[in-house]
Copies of this chain bind each other. A is one copy, B any other.
Amino acid sequence: MSEITIKDIARECGVGISTVSRAINNHADINPETKRMVMQKIKETGYIPNNSARNLKRTDARCIAVLIKGITNPFFSPAIQIVEAQAQKKRYAMVLQHVEAYEDEIAVALELIKEKRLRGIIFLGGAYQHDPEQLEKLKVPFVFSTIGITQDEEKKTYSNVAVDDRGESRKMTDYLLDLGHKKIAIITESMEAQSIGKLRLEGYKDALTARGIEIDERLIFEISEKQEPYSMENGYKMAKKLLASDAEFTAVFTIADFLAVGVCRALHEAGLRIPEDVSVAGYDGIPIGEFYTPQLTTIRQPAELMAEKTIKLLFDMIEGKTKYEHMVFPAELVVRESTAKPGR
């Protein structure tokens, strides 16, 4: 009943434990003949080394972790692929760790470091501000990726790779203003969280303020759900709320493409045409925006490029080539079918 261990293999093969260990770990100093025999026996018996024991003993793990908050976000998929490929090229293992919305990613990281002897960590998604004291405890190199940047960059003593969420959000708002829209509703995340939603709202406000347009609180809709804020359903609900209010608007800007999809559906059901009656703009540049009808105008983040730079930066840090770095990538305003000049 009890599990089969390295000892059993050694005994059955009539060799020492270390010989088996050498065979498993591709050590050089072992007779190829012996190795073949041991591997054969391992296959026969279906022996699997215990990872807990290995991690406990091992000093050199060649392993990095990617911690993701919001793994269902299709935005992260290509990033994961890229990071994994690069890690493989460097002969590093990669563990993918899902972090729940309510969990603290730093705490999860701390635990994982001990457990797996990590050499480096990448954080995808999550909050953009962290307790410096907690961060201090992270003794291994780490990079925050696709996480919004704040103003006070100079205070940061860690790496991040991101787009300028506030600036890009302003870019979109400016585009809508340039089209002639004056009453632009925005659908954003609850402001309690230190989330990128907050930065994107700031960008929206920046644009309006710069043109001397007063900010109308009735056009700002905050999603209260904490669990899965960027959903089509929430976009739909918020648009219904907007339609039910007496607020006038000619455009809706949502801080995520998923929200925009829900908004489009609600507008469609209300008999409004997009973009003839109302313009809709999203943010992220995920596939659905391209295949939805109308195709969504959006801000496309260079996800692949950011992922490439992220993993490169992490390895540079691991190899001591750099201490930490901040990279800000330009995002692209993609004008498609869902936006146009207001009025008819």
Contacts and interface: CB of A to CB of B under 8 A. Distances in A.
B114 A50 contact: yes
Interface string A137-155: 1000000000000000000
Interface stretch (A32-40, A70-78, A245-253): A70-78
A328 interface: no
Given A48-B110, A51-B115, A52-B52, A262 B236 contact: no
Interface residues of A, number: 38
A231 interface: yes
Nearest to A137: B46
Interface in A21-62: 46, 48-53, 55-56
Contacts of A262: 291
Contacts of A186: none
Q: A56, A137, A290: which has the most chain B beta carbons within 10 Å?
A: A56
Contacts of A231: 287
Question: Top 9 closest A-B pairs, CB basis?
Answer: A51-B115, A52-B55, A52-B56, A265-B291, A232-B291, A52-B52, A50-B114, A96-B98, A52-B115
B265 A50 contact: no
28 contacts: A48-B111, A48-B114, A50-B56, A50-B114, A51-B52, A51-B111, A51-B114, A51-B115, A52-B115, A52-B116, A56-B56, A71-B71, A72-B77, A77-B228, A231-B287, A232-B291, A233-B291, A236-B291, A261-B288, A261-B291, A261-B292, A262-B291, A264-B293, A265-B290, A265-B291, A265-B292, A268-B293, A293-B293
Q: A51, A96, A265: which has the most chain B beta carbons within 10 Å?
A: A51
Copies of this subunit: 2
Nearest to A84: B100
Interface in A212-250: 228, 231-233, 236
Contacts of A287: 231-233
A53 B56 contact: yes
Contacts of A116: 52
A3 interface: yes
Interface string A87-102: 0000000001010000
Nearest to A74: B72
Contacts of A98: 71, 96, 98
